[in-house]
Amino acid sequence: MNIEGSAQVSIVNTTIHGNQASYGGGIYIGCTAQVSIVNTAIYGNQAPYGGGMYIGGSAQVNITDTAIHGNQARTSGVGGGIYIVGTAQVSIVDTAVHGNSALGGAAIYAITSVQLYINSTIFSSNEATGSGSALYWDSSGDSLLTNCSFSNHSAAVPVLKVNNRLRWHCPLGKWMPSTMEYPQDRDSPDFSGCFYACALGHYGTTPDLTTFACSGECPVGHRCPKGTSLPVPCPPGYHASNNGSTTCTPCGIGNSSSVPRAVDCEPCSRGSFSSLPGATACDRCAAGGYCAQVGAASASMTFEPCPVGTWSGAVGATSNATCESCPAGKANPITGSTERTCQARTQRFQDWRCVLSATQARTKM
């Protein structure tokens, strides 16, 4: 099939099979032709340039819901599935390009100033003996690949050979280089959308990223695991003090954080303590005494009981100013008393107090 000049052609529900030519074994499109190809099978065709299809000149071609498979660029040719050249503008949507073969660009070979837009298209099992089993791109024209998948290509040669800037619309948190030979490590050539995830400690908020740093380093107060699209705020009780953090660190004992996105945790104030890591608030010291220390990791570390003969009902007291003498006619024989422990003065109480005093005196000797 040869379409040239300023022809406007629609190819719908058609099978193009078993043809041979020098350019475009199945279809040749050139000049300023405008062509729409929908729900069509183009397979088993052969040509040195564009086994399945040749698109050149300033043609405008839209390919939708079509299968391009089993075509061959024979005699060491290029563009097994499609060969695109000149200033042609080509859109490929919801199409399967598979099982084609060539020296280079087994699925698609595009050069010069071509504009190419591919969306929701499957590339699979194409075979190149040279380079670019799925795509060979060396065009200065605009491009955009969105939601495409690449699978079952040989790792012996690059699946993608990109010599000029190629644009990708990546899922957030992923990126693709604008020029590359993929895969570089020959380890795992299959992928969908975009292959590379934003690096640890970085995040990606836009779909057009081209380096591992993506949109930048994770800000303080957040964490960014590999492939992060938006920085994850540290929850209360945790903090991240440095840019580029991959995890949030729990507040240490004696500290707390009551708000998300904390850069640093705050030490427990006087009158309080924190005995567990990851605290969102410090515990107030009990009644019967006071806690004068800042950043206390336990009650025993900071709590000072009110002395004998005094009491305190205040919770979270910071000094002995809250320790009050027992009411008139009452006393207590122990430290750390609350108001309820003050007892009426009796002979028994006086006797017990004498015993306590004698015991304390012997202890000091």
Q: Rounded to whole angstroms, what are the CA distances from 227 to 107, 215, 223?
A: 29, 11, 12
Look at residue 140 and tell me whether its pLDDT is greater than 90.
yes
Q: Rounded to whole angstroms, what are the CA distances from 260 to 128, 148, 221, 223, 276?
A: 53, 38, 8, 12, 18
Per-residue burial over 310-340, b if 16 or more Cβ lie within 10 Å, else e, is: bbbebebbbeeebbeebeeebbbbebbbbee
Look at residue 351 and tell me whether its pLDDT is greater than 80.
no
Q: What is the pLDDT of residue 184?
A: 67
Please give the average per-residue pLDDT across 326-330, as a whole number.
80
| Torsion sign (Cα): 199, 201, 205, 211 | negative
Express each pLDDT in 285-313 by its tens digit.
999 999 999 999 998 889 999 998 888 99
Q: Which residue is associated with the tokens 């950043």?
A: 295
In which element (H, E) is residue 98 found? strand 96-98
Q: How far apart, in whole angstroms, are the C-alpha atoms of residue 262 and residue 239?
A: 5
Express each pLDDT in 272-289 by its tens digit.
999 999 999 999 999 999
Express each pLDDT in 24-67 by its tens digit.
999 999 999 999 999 999 999 999 999 999 999 999 999 999 99
Close Cβ partners of 351 (under 8 Å, ≥ 6 residues apart): none
Q: Which of 205-209, 225-229, 333-337 has the lowest mean pLDDT?
A: 333-337
Q: What is the pLDDT of residue 186?
A: 55
Share of the chain above pLDDT 70, in %: 92
Please give the average per-residue pLDDT across 8-25, as a whole number.
98
| Burial class of residue 361 (count of CB atoms within 10 Å of its CB; 0-12, 13-18, 19+) | exposed
Domain boundaries, the chain: 2-166, 272-364
Q: How far apart, in whole angstroms, are the C-alpha atoms of residue 180 and residue 166?
A: 9
Closest CA to 83 of 46, 113, 55: 55
Q: How far apart, in whole angstroms, are the C-alpha atoms of residue 364 and residue 67?
A: 98
Look at residue 325 and tell me whether its pLDDT is greater than 90.
no
Closest CA to 203 of 193, 212, 194, 216: 216
Q: How far apart, in whole angstroms, are the C-alpha atoms of residue 308 and residue 329?
A: 15
Q: Which of 77-81, 84-88, 243-247, 341-345 has the lowest mean pLDDT?
A: 341-345
Type of residue numbered 196: Y
Q: What is the pLDDT of residue 346?
A: 56
Q: Which residue is associated with the tokens 């499609």?
A: 82
Look at residue 19 and tell me whether its pLDDT is greater than 70.
yes
Look at residue 352 and tell me whether its pLDDT is greater than 70.
no
Q: What is the pLDDT of residue 196?
A: 93
Q: How far apart, in whole angstroms, are the C-alpha atoms of residue 198 and residue 219?
A: 15
Q: How far apart, in whole angstroms, are the C-alpha atoms of residue 324 and residue 218?
A: 53
Structure-block tokens of residue 137: 């791109």
Type of residue numbered 124: S
Q: How far apart, in whole angstroms, are the C-alpha atoms of residue 48 and residue 22?
A: 6
Q: How far apart, in whole angstroms, are the C-alpha atoms of residue 185 and residue 170?
A: 21
Q: How far apart, in whole angstroms, are the C-alpha atoms of residue 92 and residue 69?
A: 14
Out of 1.10.3470, 2.160.20, 3.30.460, 3.30.70, select the CATH number for domain 2-166: 2.160.20
Q: Rounded to whole angstroms, what are the CA distances from 285 to 10, 109, 314?
A: 83, 75, 9
Q: What is the pLDDT of residue 300?
A: 87
